[in-house]
Amino acid sequence: QVQLVESGGGLVQAGGSLRLSCAASGSIASINVMGWYRQAPGKQRELVGITRGGYTNYADSVKGRFTVSRDNAKNTVYLQMNSLKPEDTAVYYCKLQRFGIDYWGKGTLVTVSS
């Protein structure tokens, strides 16, 4: 089993930046499918950015503002968010895939004020 814990969420003003972290219970060095999703109140969960085989696909709404990265030594995946907008307000979830099975964290809330 893979356990994921997100952190770094909070309240930030529009135009500000925030970095989210996703700490995995074990090594992520061999995992090549990992990324972030978000869910706003009353809406479906949507893709933010996901890496597959070294290529990262981003939602059009976050391209140029958000970046997915990783630190294998720390078993951690990051989401750097810049130029935040009120519409970015949501619960953000980390997802990793291992042996074809998806694993999700419990989420961290990001609130962007105008």
CA quadruple 75, 58, 102, 85: dihedral positive or negative? positive
Confidence of residue 85 (pLDDT cuts 50, 70, 90): very high
The residue-averaged pLDDT of 65-93 equals: 97
Residue 1 scores a pLDDT above 80: no
Q: What is the pLDDT of residue 45?
A: 97
Residue 99 pLDDT more than 90?
no
Quick one: the chain helix, strand, coil %, rounded to 5?
Answer: 5, 55, 40
- Which tens digits make up the pLDDT trace of 11-69? 999 999 999 999 999 889 888 899 999 999 999 999 999 999 889 999 999 999 999 99
For residue 113, the model assigns a pLDDT of 97
Residue 15: per-residue pLDDT: 98
Q: Whole-angstrom Cα distance, residue 61 to residue 103?
A: 24
